[in-house]
Every structure is written in structure tokens, then in C-alpha cells.
Structure 1
Amino acid sequence: MDKTSLLNDLKKRMDGALASLDHDLKGVRTGRASANFLDSVVVEAYGDRMHLSQLATVTVPEARLINVQVWDKEMVKTVEKAIAHADLGVNPSADGASIRVPLPILSQERRNELVKIAAKHGETCKISVRNVRRDGMDQLKKMEKDSEISKDDHHSISEEIQKVTEDYVKKIDSVVTLKEKDILNN
């Protein structure tokens, strides 16, 4: 493995960690309704556990309302129960083949809890990025031991890996800071 492919592999894996963070943060509620808010809901349907997106269309008609259009009318009550028991702090109500999920206004205390959750997701992502860095450093050591690279190359590549890692940590911090502002101000 050469320097470029090693760095590209590490960047690709770090991008994956960032994508995971983005997905996790979409599930953290802000003051506005978001279709991603219900992504974590799992429904017992047809003898299996299915994500809500496999059973319904989720839309946001208003700033504080989520509408869930269930495709199979027989599943409406089951989906409603799953949303109610998903520990999201909402009270869904069925209306024919659709379910209305009004979002209550967030208290300051709840906003502070959500900020902590967002920060926790950020820390988890940083740990993932640092693990990727460690793997890269381990590969470098092996490459030097196998005489694929010199000691000087090892040193310069390890500095590049460290710089890439620091850049990703800054990206993570900025994404989490944006989410925190969104939680506190909406």
C-alpha cells in the first residue's frame, strides 16, 4: 500500500464516521419538526421488526407537526403504538390511514439535555476518527518494519495522518456546534 492509497483509505473511513454523526444528529430533535426525527422508530410488522420508513411516508406539513401516512391501513394502530413507545416524548394520534405527531415546545431543560446528547454523539464520532488514525499509524509501523517505507517516510506520513485527523475533529466540532445552536435557538 502506498502513501496516497493509505491516506485516501483513512479519509474514506473518517468520512464514514462523519456521515454516521450526521445521521445520528438528524435524530436529535430541535424546535422544528423534521422527517428524520422518526428514523429510530422500529415497528413489529408482518412477523418482523421494520423501520418506520418501510411502512409509511413521513412528511412535515407544519413547523411543529409530523404526518405519517401508513401504506397498509391495518398497520395504523401498530405504527401509532411504536411511535408512542419509542421514547421520543410525543403523543401520536391516528386519523384514518395517517398519524399526526404534534411536537410539544421544548423546555429549556429539555433543550439542555438534547445539547448533551448531541455532544455525546460528537465524542463518539471523535473516538471513531481517532481509531481510524490509530489503524493508519499501525499500518505505517508495519510498512516500515517490512521495509516498504523508510523511517523518514514514516515520520512525514504520520504527520499527515495527524493533520487529517485534526481536520476531521474540527469538522466534527463545527457540526456539533451548529446542531447545538439549532437546538437552543429554535
Structure 2
Amino acid sequence: MDPDTSILETEQNMQKAVEYIIHEFAGVRTGKASPGLVENIDVNVASYGSSMKLKGLAVITVPEPRMIVVQPFDPSTTKDIEKAILESKVGLNPSNEGKHLRLPVPELSEERRKDLVKMVKGLAEEGRVRVRACRKDGMDAAKKMKAANEITEDGQRDFEESVQELTNKFIKEIDEHLVQKEKELMTV
């Protein structure tokens, strides 16, 4: 494998790690209603005999700042969706209104906000660990290319510097998203 392809692959893997963390941040409740809070909940649908994401089973809307409405495509799945929301860790209590569910989003207490900030910091650290694992893979690729005489020692050093620059860039991006999410969580 040539160095350019390897650098590109490393960068793509780091980008995927950052995107995953951003996606996880979206699922953390901030006191405002958002479809992202519930759309990725796994729903075990007994009548289908399988498990699906909520966004594949229903239309999720936000008619008011503190209300999420879930309208199942198939009304027979309403009970399964309600059960999945109750069992999830989002902390919302659905109100079953026959053909749809209403999910009021309560105001967060100061203590709950601090707990969510701790959780978000843990997610950010997980993202940093993923990026560092990609860096390790990139550094290993450089060593393999050097051992196979595909690059020189100077080429290996340049390659490793490029991988480190990418690592710094993506960790900084995760930190920026963390600061933004913390601010969002602590804003009343």
C-alpha cells in the first residue's frame, strides 16, 4: 500500500470516529425536544419478529419545543414502541393516544445536567480513544511500509508526522463538539 492511500484511509477512519461521537452527542437530552433523542431507539416488534430502529417504524415530529410526537406507520406497533421508549435510557414517559405517542420533554434539574455533562465527557473520551487507535494503525502501517522498503526513513517520519497532525485535528474537533454540547446542556 502506498503512503498516500494509507494516510487517506487513516483520515477516513478518524472521521468516522468523530461522526460516531457527534451522533452519540445528538442522543443526549438537553431539555429541548429533538427527534434525535428517540430516533435510534431499538424497538423489538413482536408482530414482525424482529428489532428495528424507531425512525424506521414511525414519523417523529416536534410540534412544540417540549413535545415529541411519534406516529407509527403501522398502528399495531404502538405498544412495542411505547415499551421500547420506556425501557430506553432517554428518561421520557410516553403518553399513548391510540394512533400516536406524545413524549413530553421535562425541564432538566441542575443535578441531572451535571450528570449528563459527565456522560458527554465520557463519550468524548471514547471518541479520543477511537482516534488514537486509528493513529496507532497509521503508525503501524508506516512501520510495515518501511520494513517492506516502500518508504525511506525520512518518508516514514513524514508519514508519522502527517498521522499525528490528523490525530490532533480530529481530537480538537471532538473537544470543540464537547464544549458546544456542555454549553447546550448547562443552558437553562
> Which SS does the other structure have where 1:39 is aligned?
coil
Structure number with higher relative contact order (C-alpha < 8 Å, ≥ 6 residues apart): 2
Aligned to 1:99: 101
> Which SS does the other structure have where 1:49 is aligned?
strand
> Which SS does the other structure have where 2:12 is aligned?
helix
Deviations 1:7-58 (A, max 9, x none): 1111111110111011111100112111010034222212111111121111
Q: Tell me the TM-score normalized by structure 1.
A: 0.96
Q: Tell me the TM-score normalized by structure 2.
A: 0.95
Aligned to 2:120: 118
**Greater mean alpha carbon deviation, residues 50-59 or residues 127-136:** 50-59
Is the CA contact 2:38–2:54 (under 8 Å) kept in the aligned structure 1?
yes
Aligned to 1:52: 54
Aligned to 2:42: 42
Structure 2: segments with no counterpart, 5+ residues: none
Question: Structure 1 residue runs of 4+, over 2 Å off?
Answer: none
Aligned to 1:152: 154
Is the CA contact 1:33–1:64 (under 8 Å) kept in the aligned structure 2?
yes
**Structure 1 residue 147, shift from structure 2 partner:** 0.9
**Structure 1 residue 87, shift from structure 2 partner:** 2.8
> Which SS does the other structure have where 2:102 is aligned?
strand
**Structure 1 residue 121, shift from structure 2 partner:** 0.9
| Matches of 2:85 and 2:55, distance apart in 1 | 12
> Which SS does the other structure have where 1:68 is aligned?
strand
| Matches of 2:68 and 2:9, distance apart in 1 | 39
Is the CA contact 1:55–1:70 (under 8 Å) kept in the aligned structure 2?
yes
| Matches of 2:75 and 2:2, distance apart in 1 | 56
In the TM superposition, what are the counterparts of 1:1-186 in structure 2 within 5 Å? 1-45=1-45, 46-186=48-188
Deviations 1:81-136 (A, max 9, x none): 22112132111101121100001110011001111111111111111110111001
Q: Give the count of matched residue pairs.
A: 186
**Greater mean alpha carbon deviation, residues 97-106 or residues 83-92:** 83-92
| Matches of 2:96 and 2:21, distance apart in 1 | 32
Is the CA contact 1:71–1:97 (under 8 Å) kept in the aligned structure 2?
no
Using the aligned pairs only, state the percent identity.
Answer: 39
Q: CA RMSD in A?
A: 1.1
